[in-house]
Amino acid sequence: MSEIGRTLPRLESRAKVTGRADYAHNLRVPGMLWTKIFRSTVAHGRIVSIDTEAAKAAEGVFAVVTGEDIKSVMPEPYFGPAFHDQPVLALDKVRFVGEPVAVVLSHDTHLAEQAVQLIAAEYEELPPVFDEIEATTSQAIVHETLKPAGTFADLKHLAGRKNTNIALDYQLRRGDVEKAFAAADHVFEHSFRTQQVLHVPLESHAALAEPGNGTLTIHTSSQTPSFVRMEIARLLGWPENRVSVKVPFLGGGFGAKVYVKIEALASALALIAGKPVKVALSMEEQFYTISKHATTFTIKSGVTKDGRVVARKCDVYWNGGAYADIGPRVAQKTGFTAAGPYDIENVSIDSYEVYTNRPTAGALRGFGVPQLVWAYESHTDLIARALNLDPIEFRRKNILRDGRPQATGTAMKDAAIDKVLERLAEAMGGTFDRGSGGMRRGRGLAIGFKASISPTTSCATVNVNADGSIALYINTIDMGQGSDTAMAQIAAEVLNVGAETVRVVHGDTDLAPYDMGTLGSRSTFHMGHAVKLAAEDARAKLRALAAEVGLPKGTNYDIKELFKKRYGMQAGTIVGTGAYVPSYAPPEAKTGQSANVTPFWMVGGTGAEVEVDTETGHVRVVKLVNVADVGRPVNPKIVRTQVSGGATMQLGFTLHENMVLDGGQVTNASFADYKIPGFRDIPLMETELVDAEQESGPFGAKGVGETATFGVSPAIANAIEDAIGVRLTELPITAERVLRALRDRDGHPLGDDE
Amino acid sequence: MMAFDWAEPATLKEAVALLDPEDATVRAVAGGTALMLMMKAGVFQPTRLISLAKIEPHYSQVRIEKDGTLKIGAMATLSAVEQSADVAEHFPVITETLRTLSNVRVRNVARVGGALAHGDPHMDLPPLFAALGARVVARGTAEVREIEVAELYAGYYETHLKRDELIAEVIVPGLKDSRAAYLKCTSRSADDWPALGLAVHLDVEGRDVIKRARIVLGAATDKVTRLKETEDALNGATPTDPVLKRAAATAAEEVSLLGDAHGSAAYKRELLKVYLVRAIRHALRGKHA
Amino acid sequence: MKFTGELSVNAPREEVFDKLKDARFFACCVKGVRDLKELSPTTYAAHFETKIAYIKFNFEVTVELTEAQRPCRIAAKIEGKPHGIVGRLSATSAADFHEAAGVTTIRYEVEASLTGRLGSIGQPVLKAKAKEMEREFVENLRSGFLGDVEAVLP
């Protein structure tokens, strides 16, 4: 029986449902100090003074640490994957409300919390800027100097700049859009906006750093242990082998726990205190830690009278918040797909990562693609309507098919855009109840695609023990997506054993080799390859061992016997290693052109049927059909839950989730007021995997974690217009916004708030 | 969170005695679902909490008297009321309301007394019980008195309970032939606090004349509010479309609405008009529902 | 949080302006303000206490008069620090005065924000409280002009 394509329950499911799985949040060690963070109350300002005296004198306080103190162990205490712009604790300036300014350490978390209230900081206020468009011309400068990190190969080109809020301006030029617009029969231009939202993993960030004898061990809820080790070693000026990063299971990640978030703080505090120190954030503090970019996207298309899109111009502004985090990569990697999965001769894309005084934005399930699809698929429907074309037929005429060049010039390969579209057309076609009276129904669909992050490296080790048992060592983190199970299946397939017998050891930089990170739906493809290579290496070594002990080629042997024959007893280990980095051609700086910009494409689409209550504006999603090209699924059951889970998350971002800011302060920083979908919000959901294969993938597989997020928002907006003839261009699509749009159209607008 | 005293009295009388009329930071805690949020947020720092978990078990009872009156002990969980077959039979409107009140985790822990005493206008039970003419039995150190739920609220988080009083029980008069409905509108997730909640309770004469209406609004004002002018517009009327439309217009004029994270005041005014008509129709459709 | 409103008083606008510019009078119109101290002719410090049900909030407040164009406009900047909890209250307020037939119309605009723990939650409560304070302020102001001003002074 093949292990690939097998619906195997997750290896860790029993440990999880019986409460035995380990989480960093639950970890305590003897002598450990708890921490509570004193945070900025101004959105933008120079730090004049921080008075910690009263807090230091408070009951149970071990120490109070400020940004200046951090310098004693980290001389240049700035971190970040794209720019070294984020101080471990604020230095000189604060850039958003909620920024960490000082920390109280105590053996008692409640005493630490009390002492924090005694800290007082004085700031010289500077004008803040919150809007991504304003920030591009604002006199308020969030960072006086930009400091590129130069860590990742794909971000090497970033240049340091002064006096601008634009962290990165990415551009792509293909053909001549202006000429094509002039020649086109029709030109359409629309603007779309998305709001700032949050990952809210149920397990908040937690890190425990333990100083050793010239070493440091960090237990953390991170999606990127290898990066954490590298970055902490850099900050400390230590070799990587003195820093260990250990990651148990995560209670959700969704991009919130990539790169360094609180690990630098925990590390510095542990070294300053000389004791184990735990930094564990509350749910409220997640809102000051990382979020998803708010965006403004203006899209303009030139179309021929028979419905061919011949030119497209995209201007995308990403509201990055106070620190760059991985935003520049979002602006670039995601930016180059801004024209959509369409075959367009003339394309111009400008994508700007902009600093503002909001909490930082980074990667969130989809890495910016959902914001883009929101715009281009809404735009696509608007054009189809204006030209009186069937929206499916219009798409059919324009989609990118295999072999055709994408906007970067990279030829499409194994991207089942056509199949996804056709499957959706089938699911959403036919007649249906359009409702009556004040309740109106409509249908809409949307498709999107995403490039994988490249070039990135994954390494794996497979140990074959002397009893024949197999252990896999990887730094891919299982955060609920089922990677341990999928990786075990890949190793088991090569080594011809049952996947449930494979032990997966994940998240330990002392045991497992480098991995770039569990992010961007890259693990199945990249780590999948590395695991496959490592298992093949082990298999080759087993065969060599068989030959060495004199077994004729092709013999069926018991592994245990093999070791016994070679070492005279149950002894020895075979270590198989694998490393994978896909080939990549960096895009040309001015035009964004590249012959090989991604190792694979993810393709997803959603069809929605909605019912709109025209008296209240309330939108009920009746049915949501999510179609995905995942290549060949390694574990179909887990893949399907990834698809429905991704769509559910995006449903919340579409209809109601919103980080509300007032004077820079997030005013709904709790689950009481930041509502994610509950059981009663989940519509009838169908998951469809199209028959596809990623030829370059391990056993034909590719990533899936983000695919179902692409089409949800525009499919719903398109369905709403189908139902009531009103177009919403800003997320979230709240009932009030729908009613206001209806009233505006009917000429009796709803008054302003009073 | 600062250290505080935790008391677990064995009787309601003892619990009342432990309250301190001079000290607002001494509070009783029933299920704690609301108070814990305030404590976690750091806005409320108690000096003493009086847990009611161990008071006499009869304060958790849910029972229907011979005359059809429903008596709910203050310490009954919302789930206990939701799952009561008696309540479902005689007060389906209460069962229906509870099924969509917050989520099952909250309902398993939150108590009816707490849900009424908390005084957050966004809660579902206060407007419903107010419309049904329910009364709370408040026990103080000196006296026991009854207060109409409709008269219980003084403002946001504020009730007319004295500092040395606790709700012991809720008394809901039997519905008899009257009709009731509670409809709410949530604007974020379905288990969120509502943007607007509207309870109607109608005595109907003959086939379709409203003899007496009680209309109570929640979530859109700073406290649970009876819409008396709207009631007057409906009393004695046959609820035809024009009558309902006029009543809706009256309702929208009658109260000053408060915008919040769930919706602007202007939006809530529209919701009020729509939900008034719907709630009355909903009430008239079923026997009780 | 933004509040705008309008009220009229039966007094010439010079009189209205002068009274409102008088910090002592102004402070008396805001419930819960005490211990007003003049730091300079345009800056004041005070203690401000307010409560929502059983929850009390205390702030140390400074007020800076940022604009005083007699008799048309007054603007002020208010900053406050809550007791016992990290946070910050900041507000700007402006009032414009228009007079017609002896009646002065005051148009006011207040923009306030609260950062820190208090601001991160409980916004609906705070907003309701702020509305209530606005009503009280308007009432106090009215009665301050209706009868003698001293009536509202302690």
Alpha-carbon distance values, B138 to B28, B60, B143, B147, B155 (Å): 13, 15, 8, 7, 18
Q: Which range is most confident: A328-332, A410-414, C134-138?
A: A410-414
Under 8 Å between Cβ of A243 and A236? yes
Which amino acid makes up residue B286?
Answer: G
Q: Find the closest chain C residue to A125 by CA distance.
A: C90
In this complex, do B24 and C127 lie within 8 Å of one another by their Cβ atoms?
Answer: no
pLDDT at C10: 85
In this complex, do C55 and B158 lie within 8 Å of one another by their Cβ atoms?
Answer: no
Diameter over CA atoms, chain B: 61
Over the stretch B156-202, which tens digit does the pLDDT of each residue have?
899 999 999 999 999 999 999 999 999 999 999 999 999 999 999 99
Using CA atoms, how far apart are residues A394 and A186, in angstroms rounded to an integer? 14
In this complex, do C117 and B43 lie within 8 Å of one another by their Cβ atoms?
Answer: yes
Q: Is C85 on the interface with A (CB under 8 A)?
A: yes
Which amino acid makes up residue A541?
Answer: K
Q: Is the pLDDT of residue A351 over 50?
A: yes
* Beta bridge partners of residue A701, listed in sequence order: A631
Q: Is the pLDDT of residue A754 over 50?
A: no
Under 8 Å between Cβ of B227 and B200? no
Q: What are phi and psi of B260, to 5 degrees?
A: -155, -165
In a 10 Å sphere around its CB, with 0-12 CB exposed, 13-18 middle and 19+ buried, how is residue A326 labelled?
A: buried
Over the stretch B140-154, which tens digit does the pLDDT of each residue have?
999 999 999 999 999
Over the stretch B219-277, which tens digit does the pLDDT of each residue have?
999 899 999 999 999 999 999 999 999 999 999 999 999 888 899 999 999 999 999 99
Under 8 Å CB-to-CB from A239, ≥6 apart: which residues?
A233
Residue to test with chain B: of A117, A200, A616, most B Cβ within 10 A: A616
* Angle formed by the axes of helices A369-386 and A391-398, nearest 10°: 110
In this complex, do C52 and B156 lie within 8 Å of one another by their Cβ atoms?
Answer: yes
Give the closest-approach CA distance of A682 to chain B in angstroms.
10
Q: Is the pLDDT of residue C92 over 60?
A: yes
Between A25-39, A134-148, A150-164, A486-500, the lowest mean confidence (pLDDT) is in: A150-164
Under 8 Å between Cβ of A411 and A747? no
Residue to test with chain C: of B47, B157, B188, most C Cβ within 10 A: B157
In this structure, are strands B62-64 and B70-73 parallel, antiparallel, or unpaired? antiparallel
B 120-179 near A (Cβ less than 8 A): none
Under 8 Å CB-to-CB from A317, ≥6 apart: which residues?
A132, A133, A136, A295, A296, A297, A352, A354
Q: Is A281 on the interface with C (CB under 8 A)?
A: no
* Nearest Cβ partner for B27 among C54, C118, C131: C54
Task: Kindly list the residues from chain A whose CB atom is less than 8 angstroms away from the CB atom of residue B261.
Answer: 660, 667-668, 673
Q: Is residue A58 helix, strand or coil?
A: coil
pLDDT at C148: 42
CB neighbours of residue A327 within 10 Å: 28
How large is the average pLDDT for residues A318-346?
Answer: 96
In this complex, do C114 and A665 lie within 8 Å of one another by their Cβ atoms?
Answer: yes
Number of B/C CB contacts below 8 angstroms equals: 55
pLDDT at B101: 96
Element of type H or E holding A295 = strand A294-303
Under 8 Å CB-to-CB from A306, ≥6 apart: which residues?
none
* Nearest Cβ partner for A116 among C1, C86, C114: C86
Nearest to B16, CA basis, from B167, B168, B164, B169: B164
In this complex, do C123 and A667 lie within 8 Å of one another by their Cβ atoms?
Answer: yes
Between A465-474, A724-733, C33-42, the lowest mean confidence (pLDDT) is in: C33-42
Separation of first and last alpha carbons in chain A: 67
Q: Is the pLDDT of residue A152 over 80?
A: no
Q: Find the closest chain B residue to A752 by CA distance.
A: B266
Under 8 Å between Cβ of A140 and A126? yes
* Nearest Cβ partner for B41 among C84, C122, C124: C122
Q: What average pLDDT is seen over chain C? A: 85
Residue to test with chain C: of A662, A668, A752, most C Cβ within 10 A: A662
Q: Is the pLDDT of residue B2 over 80?
A: no
A155 band by pLDDT with thresholds 50, 70 and 90? low
Residue to test with chain B: of A281, A439, A614, A753, most B Cβ within 10 A: A753
* Nearest Cβ partner for A673 among C84, C87, C121: C121
Q: Is B41 on the interface with A (CB under 8 A)?
A: yes
How large is the average pLDDT for residues A628-639?
Answer: 97
In this complex, do B190 and A680 lie within 8 Å of one another by their Cβ atoms?
Answer: yes
- Can you give the pTM of this predicted structure? 0.96
Separation of first and last alpha carbons in chain B: 44
Task: Kindly list the residues from chain A whose CB atom is less than 8 angstroms away from the CB atom of residue B41.
Answer: 284, 670
Give the closest-approach CA distance of C134 to chain A in angstroms.
13
Give the closest-approach CA distance of A61 to chain B in angstroms.
14
Q: Is residue A452 helix, strand or coil?
A: coil
C 114-133 near B (Cβ less than 8 A): 117-118, 120-125, 127-129, 131-132
Task: Kindly list the residues from chain C whose CB atom is less than 8 angstroms away from the CB atom of residue A284.
Answer: 117, 120-121
Q: What are phi and psi of B161, to 5 degrees?
A: -65, 140
Q: What average pLDDT is seen over chain A? A: 96
Q: What is the DSSP letter of A223?
A: S
pLDDT at C153: 38
Give the closest-approach CA distance of A660 to chain B in angstroms.
9
Q: Find the closest chain A residue to C120 by CA distance.
A: A667
Between A138-152, A233-247, A691-705, the lowest mean confidence (pLDDT) is in: A138-152
* Nearest Cβ partner for C129 among B42, B45, B156: B156
Number of A/C CB contacts below 8 angstroms equals: 57
Q: Is the pLDDT of residue C151 over 50?
A: no
In this complex, do A751 and B271 lie within 8 Å of one another by their Cβ atoms?
Answer: no
* Nearest Cβ partner for B189 among A113, A677, A751: A677
* Nearest Cβ partner for C124 among B25, B43, B260: B260
Task: Kindly list the residues from chain A whose CB atom is less than 8 angstroms away from the CB atom of residue B259.
Answer: 753-754
B289 band by pLDDT with thresholds 50, 70 and 90? very low
Q: Is the pLDDT of residue C31 over 90?
A: no
Which amino acid makes up residue A721?
Answer: E
Q: Which range is most confident: A146-160, A196-210, C19-33?
A: A196-210
How large is the average pLDDT for residues B15-36?
Answer: 93
Give the closest-approach CA distance of C1 to chain A in angstroms.
7
In this complex, do C114 and A664 lie within 8 Å of one another by their Cβ atoms?
Answer: no
Nearest to A672, CA basis, from B193, B108, B31: B193
A145 band by pLDDT with thresholds 50, 70 and 90? confident
How large is the average pLDDT for residues A124-144?
Answer: 96
Nearest to A408, CA basis, from A347, A328, A353, A351: A347
In this complex, do B24 and C54 lie within 8 Å of one another by their Cβ atoms?
Answer: yes
Q: What is the DSSP letter of A91?
A: -
pLDDT at B1: 66
Give the closest-approach CA distance of A666 to chain C in angstroms.
6
Q: Is A664 on the interface with C (CB under 8 A)?
A: yes
Q: Which residues of A207-245 are buried (b: 16+ CB within 10 A; e: fewer)?
A: bbbbbeeeebbbbbbbbbbbbbbbbbbbbbeeeeebbbb
Which amino acid makes up residue A573?
Answer: T
Q: Is residue A173 helix, strand or coil?
A: strand
Which has more pLDDT, A621 or C128? A621
For chain B, the chains sharing at least 3 beta-carbon pairs closer than 8 angstroms are A, C
Three-state secondary structure readout of C86-127: CEEEEEEEEEEEEEECCEEEEEEEEEEEEEEHHHHCCHHHHH
How large is the average pLDDT for residues A531-550?
Answer: 96
Using CA atoms, how far apart are residues B267 and A735, in angstroms rounded to an integer? 9
In the block, tokens 């949800």 appear at: A712
pLDDT at C117: 84
DSSP string over chain B: ----EEE--SSHHHHHHH--TT-TTEEEESS-HHHHHHHHTTS---SEEEE-TTS-GGGG-EEE-TTS-EEEETT-BHHHHHT-HHHHHH-HHHHHHHHTSS-HHHHHH-BHHHHHHS--TT-SHHHHHHHTT-EEEEE-SS-EEEEEGGG-EEETTEES--TT-EEEEEEE---TT-EEEEEEE-SSSTTSPPSEEEEEEEEEETTTEEEEEEEEEESSSSS-EE-HHHHHHHTT----HHHHHHHHHHHHHHS----BTTB-HHHHHHHHHHHHHHHHHHHHHSS--
pLDDT at A753: 60
In this complex, do B119 and C117 lie within 8 Å of one another by their Cβ atoms?
Answer: no
How large is the average pLDDT for residues B2-13?
Answer: 94
A156 band by pLDDT with thresholds 50, 70 and 90? low
pLDDT at A245: 98
For chain A, the chains sharing at least 3 beta-carbon pairs closer than 8 angstroms are B, C
Q: What are phi and psi of A657, to 5 degrees?
A: -65, 140
Q: Is the pLDDT of residue A552 over 60?
A: yes
In this complex, do B43 and C53 lie within 8 Å of one another by their Cβ atoms?
Answer: no
Q: Find the closest chain A residue to B192 by CA distance.
A: A675
Over the stretch A483-517, which tens digit does the pLDDT of each residue have?
999 999 999 999 999 999 999 999 999 999 999 99
Ordered strands of the A435-436 beta sheet: A435-436, A439-451, A601-613, A619-629, A684-689
* Nearest Cβ partner for B261 among C52, C123, C132: C123
pLDDT at B288: 41
Which has more pLDDT, A315 or B155? A315
